[in-house]
A = this chain, B = another copy of it.
Amino acid sequence: MNIAVAQSGGPTCAINASLVGVFKQGFKTKSIDAIFGSINGIEGIINDELIDLKGIIKTNEDMELLRQTPSTMLGSCRYKLPDYKTDNKIYEKIRACFEKHRIKVFIYIGGNDSMDTVVKLSEYFKDEVKVIGIPKTIDNDLPVTDHTPGFGSAAKYVATSVQEITRDSSVYSVDSVTIIEIMGRHAGWLTASTCVLKANGEDAPHLIYLPESDFCIKQFVEDVRREQAKHKAVVIAVSEGIEINSEDTALEDFQSGAKDVFGHKYLSGIGRCLEKIVAKEIGCKVRSIELNVMQRCSSHICSKTDIDEAEEIGSAGVITALKGETGKMMCFKRVISSPYAVNIETVDAKEVANHEKLFPKEWINAKGNNVKTAAHKYFLPLIQGEVKIKMNKGMPVHFKRMTDR
Protein backbone atom coordinates (compact mmCIF):
# COMPACT_ATOMS: atom_id res chain seq x y z
CA MET A 1 0.00 0.00 0.00
CA ASN A 2 1.18 3.51 -0.79
CA ILE A 3 0.19 6.94 0.41
CA ALA A 4 0.22 10.32 -1.29
CA VAL A 5 0.56 13.77 0.19
CA ALA A 6 0.03 17.20 -1.36
CA GLN A 7 0.23 20.84 -0.31
CA SER A 8 -2.30 23.44 -1.33
CA GLY A 9 -3.21 27.11 -0.96
CA GLY A 10 -0.94 29.93 0.14
CA PRO A 11 2.47 28.90 1.47
CA THR A 12 3.47 29.17 5.14
CA CYS A 13 6.53 28.54 7.29
CA ALA A 14 5.03 25.36 8.73
CA ILE A 15 3.53 23.48 5.77
CA ASN A 16 6.80 21.67 5.06
CA ALA A 17 6.97 20.63 8.73
CA SER A 18 3.58 18.96 8.28
CA LEU A 19 4.98 17.24 5.19
CA VAL A 20 7.86 15.99 7.35
CA GLY A 21 5.32 14.68 9.88
CA VAL A 22 3.47 12.77 7.14
CA PHE A 23 6.73 11.45 5.73
CA LYS A 24 8.16 10.33 9.09
CA GLN A 25 4.94 8.54 10.09
CA GLY A 26 4.63 6.93 6.65
CA PHE A 27 8.27 5.90 6.75
CA LYS A 28 7.99 4.11 10.05
CA THR A 29 4.68 2.36 9.23
CA LYS A 30 5.47 -1.14 7.95
CA SER A 31 2.29 -1.48 5.87
CA ILE A 32 3.24 1.57 3.79
CA ASP A 33 5.65 1.02 0.90
CA ALA A 34 5.99 4.32 -0.95
CA ILE A 35 5.17 7.87 0.10
CA PHE A 36 4.38 9.93 -2.98
CA GLY A 37 4.47 13.71 -3.11
CA SER A 38 1.98 15.22 -5.55
CA ILE A 39 3.34 18.22 -7.42
CA ASN A 40 1.21 21.37 -7.14
CA GLY A 41 -1.51 20.04 -4.90
CA ILE A 42 -4.31 17.98 -6.39
CA GLU A 43 -3.09 18.98 -9.87
CA GLY A 44 -0.22 16.51 -9.44
CA ILE A 45 -2.70 13.65 -8.88
CA ILE A 46 -4.81 14.72 -11.86
CA ASN A 47 -1.76 14.99 -14.12
CA ASP A 48 0.05 11.99 -12.62
CA GLU A 49 2.99 14.10 -11.49
CA LEU A 50 4.21 12.32 -8.40
CA ILE A 51 7.61 11.99 -6.84
CA ASP A 52 8.76 9.22 -4.52
CA LEU A 53 9.64 11.19 -1.40
CA LYS A 54 12.07 8.55 -0.15
CA GLY A 55 14.12 9.40 -3.22
CA ILE A 56 14.61 13.02 -2.19
CA ILE A 57 14.27 13.01 1.61
CA LYS A 58 17.16 10.74 2.47
CA THR A 59 18.58 11.72 5.82
CA ASN A 60 17.57 13.19 9.15
CA GLU A 61 19.37 16.33 8.07
CA ASP A 62 17.12 16.54 4.98
CA MET A 63 14.13 16.43 7.32
CA GLU A 64 15.60 19.12 9.56
CA LEU A 65 16.24 21.35 6.55
CA LEU A 66 12.75 20.75 5.18
CA ARG A 67 11.30 21.72 8.57
CA GLN A 68 13.11 25.09 8.40
CA THR A 69 12.26 25.75 4.74
CA PRO A 70 9.32 28.07 4.08
CA SER A 71 6.77 27.73 1.30
CA THR A 72 5.58 24.42 -0.19
CA MET A 73 8.33 22.00 -1.21
CA LEU A 74 5.85 20.16 -3.45
CA GLY A 75 4.39 23.30 -4.98
CA SER A 76 0.80 24.39 -4.52
CA CYS A 77 -2.41 25.08 -6.40
CA ARG A 78 -5.69 26.92 -6.07
CA TYR A 79 -7.66 24.30 -7.96
CA LYS A 80 -11.34 23.84 -7.11
CA LEU A 81 -12.74 20.40 -7.92
CA PRO A 82 -16.06 20.33 -9.77
CA ASP A 83 -19.07 18.56 -8.28
CA TYR A 84 -18.63 14.87 -9.20
CA LYS A 85 -22.37 14.45 -9.71
CA THR A 86 -22.27 16.83 -12.67
CA ASP A 87 -18.69 16.28 -13.91
CA ASN A 88 -16.71 13.21 -12.96
CA LYS A 89 -14.03 13.32 -15.68
CA ILE A 90 -11.45 14.79 -13.30
CA TYR A 91 -12.37 12.21 -10.68
CA GLU A 92 -11.71 9.40 -13.12
CA LYS A 93 -8.25 10.84 -13.75
CA ILE A 94 -7.66 10.96 -10.01
CA ARG A 95 -8.88 7.37 -9.68
CA ALA A 96 -6.51 6.29 -12.45
CA CYS A 97 -3.59 7.88 -10.63
CA PHE A 98 -4.56 6.39 -7.27
CA GLU A 99 -4.95 2.93 -8.81
CA LYS A 100 -1.77 3.09 -10.88
CA HIS A 101 0.28 3.94 -7.79
CA ARG A 102 -1.71 1.80 -5.31
CA ILE A 103 -2.50 4.89 -3.26
CA LYS A 104 -4.88 4.09 -0.42
CA VAL A 105 -4.31 7.18 1.72
CA PHE A 106 -4.30 10.77 0.52
CA ILE A 107 -3.21 13.53 2.90
CA TYR A 108 -4.05 17.07 1.81
CA ILE A 109 -2.35 19.92 3.67
CA GLY A 110 -4.21 23.17 3.11
CA GLY A 111 -6.75 25.76 4.15
CA ASN A 112 -10.54 25.93 3.93
CA ASP A 113 -10.54 25.70 0.13
CA SER A 114 -8.43 22.56 0.35
CA MET A 115 -10.89 21.04 2.84
CA ASP A 116 -13.51 21.38 0.08
CA THR A 117 -11.27 19.03 -1.92
CA VAL A 118 -11.02 16.64 1.05
CA VAL A 119 -14.81 16.53 1.35
CA LYS A 120 -15.39 15.90 -2.37
CA LEU A 121 -12.68 13.25 -2.70
CA SER A 122 -13.79 11.40 0.43
CA GLU A 123 -17.39 11.36 -0.79
CA TYR A 124 -16.36 10.16 -4.23
CA PHE A 125 -13.87 7.50 -3.13
CA LYS A 126 -15.79 6.40 -0.03
CA ASP A 127 -13.68 3.65 1.57
CA GLU A 128 -11.45 2.98 -1.44
CA VAL A 129 -9.02 5.78 -0.50
CA LYS A 130 -8.87 7.45 2.88
CA VAL A 131 -8.64 11.22 2.55
CA ILE A 132 -7.48 13.34 5.48
CA GLY A 133 -6.92 17.11 5.65
CA ILE A 134 -4.14 18.78 7.61
CA PRO A 135 -4.90 22.42 8.42
CA LYS A 136 -2.57 25.17 7.28
CA THR A 137 -2.95 28.90 6.93
CA ILE A 138 -1.34 32.01 8.34
CA ASP A 139 -4.86 33.47 8.48
CA ASN A 140 -5.88 31.20 11.41
CA ASP A 141 -9.42 31.31 10.06
CA LEU A 142 -10.35 27.61 10.01
CA PRO A 143 -13.37 26.64 12.11
CA VAL A 144 -13.23 24.13 14.97
CA THR A 145 -9.44 23.92 15.33
CA ASP A 146 -8.03 26.10 18.13
CA HIS A 147 -5.50 27.50 15.67
CA THR A 148 -3.80 26.54 12.41
CA PRO A 149 -0.20 25.49 11.72
CA GLY A 150 1.61 28.36 10.03
CA PHE A 151 -0.19 30.99 12.05
CA GLY A 152 2.19 30.96 15.03
CA SER A 153 5.25 31.54 12.87
CA ALA A 154 3.53 34.33 10.95
CA ALA A 155 2.47 35.92 14.24
CA LYS A 156 6.01 35.67 15.61
CA TYR A 157 7.47 37.37 12.52
CA VAL A 158 4.78 40.05 12.63
CA ALA A 159 5.29 40.71 16.37
CA THR A 160 9.06 40.88 15.97
CA SER A 161 8.82 43.20 12.97
CA VAL A 162 6.17 45.47 14.48
CA GLN A 163 8.36 45.82 17.58
CA GLU A 164 11.40 46.66 15.44
CA ILE A 165 9.40 49.10 13.33
CA THR A 166 8.20 50.70 16.57
CA ARG A 167 11.85 51.36 17.54
CA ASP A 168 12.51 52.68 14.04
CA SER A 169 9.47 54.94 14.09
CA SER A 170 10.49 56.89 17.18
CA VAL A 171 13.87 58.25 16.16
CA TYR A 172 13.04 61.76 15.02
CA SER A 173 11.77 64.62 17.14
CA VAL A 174 8.74 65.27 14.92
CA ASP A 175 5.36 63.62 15.48
CA SER A 176 4.75 60.62 13.26
CA VAL A 177 2.20 57.97 12.43
CA THR A 178 3.26 54.53 11.16
CA ILE A 179 0.61 52.28 9.62
CA ILE A 180 1.48 48.59 9.28
CA GLU A 181 -0.70 46.60 6.90
CA ILE A 182 -1.04 42.94 7.84
CA MET A 183 -2.46 39.98 5.89
CA GLY A 184 -5.97 38.65 6.48
CA ARG A 185 -8.69 38.90 3.88
CA HIS A 186 -11.71 38.58 6.14
CA ALA A 187 -10.32 37.46 9.47
CA GLY A 188 -8.21 39.75 11.61
CA TRP A 189 -6.35 37.09 13.62
CA LEU A 190 -2.86 37.98 12.41
CA THR A 191 -3.43 41.71 12.85
CA ALA A 192 -4.95 41.13 16.29
CA SER A 193 -1.95 39.01 17.28
CA THR A 194 0.20 42.17 17.39
CA CYS A 195 -1.35 42.67 20.84
CA VAL A 196 1.31 40.25 22.16
CA LEU A 197 3.74 43.19 22.19
CA LYS A 198 1.93 44.37 25.32
CA ALA A 199 3.18 41.25 27.10
CA ASN A 200 6.72 42.32 26.15
CA GLY A 201 6.31 45.76 27.73
CA GLU A 202 5.41 47.69 24.57
CA ASP A 203 2.66 50.27 24.24
CA ALA A 204 2.54 49.73 20.49
CA PRO A 205 0.59 49.05 18.45
CA HIS A 206 -1.53 51.88 19.82
CA LEU A 207 -4.42 51.09 17.52
CA ILE A 208 -5.50 47.78 15.97
CA TYR A 209 -8.14 47.67 13.23
CA LEU A 210 -9.72 44.38 12.17
CA PRO A 211 -12.17 43.46 9.41
CA GLU A 212 -14.49 42.17 12.15
CA SER A 213 -15.24 45.76 13.24
CA ASP A 214 -16.91 48.53 11.30
CA PHE A 215 -14.36 51.07 10.17
CA CYS A 216 -15.21 54.76 10.04
CA ILE A 217 -12.77 57.39 8.79
CA LYS A 218 -13.96 60.09 11.20
CA GLN A 219 -13.51 57.75 14.16
CA PHE A 220 -10.10 56.69 12.82
CA VAL A 221 -8.86 60.29 12.64
CA GLU A 222 -10.13 60.90 16.18
CA ASP A 223 -8.39 57.74 17.40
CA VAL A 224 -5.10 58.85 15.87
CA ARG A 225 -5.35 62.34 17.39
CA ARG A 226 -6.09 60.88 20.81
CA GLU A 227 -3.06 58.56 20.64
CA GLN A 228 -0.89 61.44 19.40
CA ALA A 229 -1.65 63.29 22.62
CA LYS A 230 0.07 60.43 24.45
CA HIS A 231 2.68 59.20 21.99
CA LYS A 232 5.01 61.11 19.69
CA ALA A 233 5.23 58.11 17.36
CA VAL A 234 1.88 56.39 16.90
CA VAL A 235 1.99 52.84 15.52
CA ILE A 236 -1.12 51.33 13.95
CA ALA A 237 -1.73 47.71 12.93
CA VAL A 238 -4.38 47.38 10.25
CA SER A 239 -5.72 44.31 8.50
CA GLU A 240 -5.61 44.36 4.69
CA GLY A 241 -9.23 43.29 4.82
CA ILE A 242 -10.87 46.25 6.53
CA GLU A 243 -13.57 47.92 4.52
CA ILE A 244 -14.37 51.60 4.64
CA ASN A 245 -18.14 52.15 4.72
CA SER A 246 -18.02 55.77 3.79
CA GLU A 247 -17.79 58.17 0.91
CA ASP A 248 -15.68 60.61 2.94
CA THR A 249 -12.47 60.79 0.98
CA ALA A 250 -10.09 59.29 -1.58
CA LEU A 251 -10.90 55.59 -1.54
CA GLU A 252 -10.03 54.66 -5.13
CA ASP A 253 -7.60 51.83 -5.82
CA PHE A 254 -7.75 49.94 -2.57
CA GLN A 255 -10.11 47.27 -3.77
CA SER A 256 -9.47 45.90 -7.22
CA GLY A 257 -12.84 44.18 -7.55
CA ALA A 258 -11.19 41.16 -9.21
CA LYS A 259 -12.05 37.79 -7.72
CA ASP A 260 -10.16 34.49 -7.79
CA VAL A 261 -11.77 31.14 -8.53
CA PHE A 262 -12.95 30.74 -4.96
CA GLY A 263 -14.68 34.12 -5.05
CA HIS A 264 -12.15 35.99 -2.89
CA LYS A 265 -11.54 39.63 -3.59
CA TYR A 266 -7.91 40.64 -4.03
CA LEU A 267 -7.36 43.27 -1.43
CA SER A 268 -4.39 45.56 -1.22
CA GLY A 269 -3.52 49.08 -0.44
CA ILE A 270 -5.55 49.87 2.69
CA GLY A 271 -2.36 51.01 4.42
CA ARG A 272 -1.63 53.49 1.68
CA CYS A 273 -5.22 54.66 1.76
CA LEU A 274 -5.06 55.34 5.51
CA GLU A 275 -1.68 57.03 4.99
CA LYS A 276 -3.35 59.47 2.59
CA ILE A 277 -6.15 60.07 5.08
CA VAL A 278 -3.69 60.89 7.90
CA ALA A 279 -1.66 63.15 5.60
CA LYS A 280 -4.78 65.04 4.56
CA GLU A 281 -6.62 65.21 7.88
CA ILE A 282 -3.72 65.50 10.35
CA GLY A 283 -0.80 66.55 8.19
CA CYS A 284 1.99 64.98 10.25
CA LYS A 285 4.81 62.71 9.04
CA VAL A 286 3.12 59.44 8.08
CA ARG A 287 4.13 56.26 6.35
CA SER A 288 2.57 52.91 5.59
CA ILE A 289 4.38 49.59 5.51
CA GLU A 290 3.14 46.31 4.01
CA LEU A 291 4.62 43.25 5.67
CA ASN A 292 3.66 41.47 2.47
CA VAL A 293 4.64 37.85 1.77
CA MET A 294 7.42 38.03 4.37
CA GLN A 295 4.61 37.27 6.84
CA ARG A 296 4.18 33.80 5.45
CA CYS A 297 7.75 32.87 4.52
CA SER A 298 10.07 34.30 7.21
CA SER A 299 11.14 30.91 8.52
CA HIS A 300 14.31 32.36 10.01
CA ILE A 301 12.16 33.65 12.91
CA CYS A 302 9.57 30.86 12.95
CA SER A 303 7.85 29.71 16.13
CA LYS A 304 9.21 26.42 17.48
CA THR A 305 5.80 25.67 18.96
CA ASP A 306 4.25 26.12 15.52
CA ILE A 307 6.80 24.00 13.66
CA ASP A 308 6.69 21.19 16.22
CA GLU A 309 2.89 21.17 16.21
CA ALA A 310 2.78 21.24 12.40
CA GLU A 311 4.93 18.13 12.27
CA GLU A 312 2.85 16.36 14.95
CA ILE A 313 -0.47 17.07 13.26
CA GLY A 314 0.96 15.78 9.97
CA SER A 315 1.93 12.50 11.65
CA ALA A 316 -1.45 12.30 13.35
CA GLY A 317 -3.14 12.60 9.96
CA VAL A 318 -1.45 9.43 8.70
CA ILE A 319 -2.34 7.53 11.88
CA THR A 320 -5.97 8.64 11.56
CA ALA A 321 -6.19 7.53 7.92
CA LEU A 322 -4.68 4.16 8.78
CA LYS A 323 -7.34 3.74 11.46
CA GLY A 324 -9.86 3.91 8.60
CA GLU A 325 -11.15 7.44 8.98
CA THR A 326 -11.78 9.60 5.92
CA GLY A 327 -13.25 13.02 5.11
CA LYS A 328 -11.77 14.41 8.31
CA MET A 329 -9.52 17.34 9.08
CA MET A 330 -7.08 17.04 11.97
CA CYS A 331 -7.48 19.82 14.52
CA PHE A 332 -6.04 21.21 17.72
CA LYS A 333 -8.10 21.34 20.88
CA ARG A 334 -6.56 23.60 23.49
CA VAL A 335 -6.54 22.07 26.94
CA ILE A 336 -5.12 25.06 28.74
CA SER A 337 -3.24 28.25 27.84
CA SER A 338 -0.84 28.34 30.76
CA PRO A 339 0.98 26.01 30.97
CA TYR A 340 0.06 25.55 27.34
CA ALA A 341 -1.27 22.15 26.26
CA VAL A 342 -3.20 20.97 23.19
CA ASN A 343 -4.67 17.70 22.02
CA ILE A 344 -4.91 16.63 18.40
CA GLU A 345 -8.41 15.50 17.38
CA THR A 346 -10.47 15.16 14.21
CA VAL A 347 -13.40 17.08 12.77
CA ASP A 348 -15.57 16.43 9.70
CA ALA A 349 -13.87 18.34 6.88
CA LYS A 350 -17.38 19.50 5.90
CA GLU A 351 -17.50 21.65 9.02
CA VAL A 352 -14.37 23.45 7.83
CA ALA A 353 -14.63 23.50 4.04
CA ASN A 354 -15.44 26.93 2.64
CA HIS A 355 -16.13 28.30 6.12
CA GLU A 356 -14.13 30.98 7.90
CA LYS A 357 -13.67 31.52 11.62
CA LEU A 358 -13.51 35.21 12.38
CA PHE A 359 -11.75 36.87 15.30
CA PRO A 360 -14.23 36.82 18.22
CA LYS A 361 -16.22 40.03 18.64
CA GLU A 362 -15.99 39.64 22.43
CA TRP A 363 -12.20 40.09 22.23
CA ILE A 364 -12.52 43.45 20.45
CA ASN A 365 -12.80 46.58 22.59
CA ALA A 366 -15.93 48.75 22.56
CA LYS A 367 -14.41 51.38 20.25
CA GLY A 368 -13.34 48.72 17.74
CA ASN A 369 -9.79 50.06 17.69
CA ASN A 370 -7.94 47.51 19.82
CA VAL A 371 -8.23 44.02 21.30
CA LYS A 372 -8.88 42.95 24.87
CA THR A 373 -6.44 41.28 27.27
CA ALA A 374 -8.16 37.88 26.86
CA ALA A 375 -6.67 37.72 23.37
CA HIS A 376 -3.09 38.02 24.71
CA LYS A 377 -3.52 34.73 26.58
CA TYR A 378 -4.77 33.05 23.42
CA PHE A 379 -1.95 34.25 21.16
CA LEU A 380 1.13 34.11 23.39
CA PRO A 381 1.67 30.31 23.54
CA LEU A 382 1.61 30.11 19.74
CA ILE A 383 4.73 32.25 19.21
CA GLN A 384 6.93 30.62 21.86
CA GLY A 385 10.32 29.12 21.14
CA GLU A 386 12.91 29.48 18.43
CA VAL A 387 14.10 26.84 16.00
CA LYS A 388 17.90 26.67 15.77
CA ILE A 389 18.26 27.49 12.08
CA LYS A 390 21.08 25.84 10.16
CA MET A 391 23.09 28.54 8.37
CA ASN A 392 25.54 28.47 5.48
CA LYS A 393 27.73 31.48 4.62
CA GLY A 394 25.57 33.73 6.77
CA MET A 395 22.23 32.62 5.28
CA PRO A 396 19.65 29.98 6.26
CA VAL A 397 19.94 26.68 4.41
CA HIS A 398 16.80 25.60 2.57
CA PHE A 399 15.72 22.21 1.32
CA LYS A 400 15.33 22.58 -2.43
CA ARG A 401 13.71 20.53 -5.12
CA MET A 402 14.77 21.34 -8.67
CA THR A 403 12.00 23.31 -10.34
CA ASP A 404 13.81 25.17 -13.11
CA ARG A 405 12.99 24.42 -16.70
Contact = CB atoms under 8 A, between A and B. Distances in A.
Interface in A129-168: 156, 159-161, 163-165, 167-168
B391 A386 contact: yes
Interface stretch (A112-120, A195-203, A212-220, A243-251): A195-203
Contacts of A395: 156, 159-160, 163, 196-197, 200, 383
Interface in A33-57: 40, 43
A359 B88 CA distance: 59
Copies assembled: 2
A153 to B, nearest CB: 11
Contacts of A77: 172-173
Contacts of A201: 400
Interface in A358-388: 380, 383-386
Interface in A310-369: none
A296 B168 contact: yes
A75 interface: yes
Nearest to A171: B76
Interface stretch (A24-32, A94-102, A184-192, A225-233): A225-233
B293 A290 contact: no
Interface string A292-318: 111011111101000000000000000
Interface string A262-297: 000000000000000000000000010111111011
A345 B124 CA distance: 74
A291 B292 CA distance: 9
A165 B398 CA distance: 12
A259 interface: no
A205 interface: no
A90 interface: no
Contacts of A230: 404-405
Given A77-B173, A385-B394, 14 more contacts: A11-B168, A11-B171, A156-B394, A160-B395, A163-B395, A163-B398, A200-B392, A200-B393, A232-B404, A233-B403, A290-B292, A291-B294, A300-B301, A384-B394
B294 A161 contact: yes
Interface of A: 11, 40, 43, 69-72, 75-78, 156, 159-161, 163-165, 167-168, 170-173, 196-197, 199-201, 203, 229-233, 287, 289-294, 296-301, 303, 380, 383-386, 391-398, 400, 403-405
Given A163-B398, A232-B404, A403-B170, A393 B300 contact: no
A313 B48 CA distance: 60
Contact of A70 (B71, B164, B396): B164
A172 B165 CA distance: 31
A231 B168 CA distance: 37
Contact of A164 (B229, B290, B298): B298
Given A170-B403, A232-B405, A300-B301, A196 B394 contact: yes
Contacts of A11: 167-168, 171
Contact of A75 (B161, B173, B393): B173
Contacts of A293: 165, 168, 287, 289
Contacts of A229: 405
Given A230-B405, A386-B391, A167 B398 contact: yes
Contacts of A72: 171
Contacts of A404: 203, 230-232
23 contacts: A40-B172, A69-B167, A71-B171, A76-B171, A78-B172, A160-B396, A164-B294, A164-B297, A164-B396, A167-B398, A168-B293, A170-B403, A196-B393, A197-B395, A200-B395, A201-B400, A230-B404, A232-B404, A233-B403, A289-B292, A291-B294, A383-B393, A384-B394
A393 B156 CA distance: 10
B78 A297 contact: no
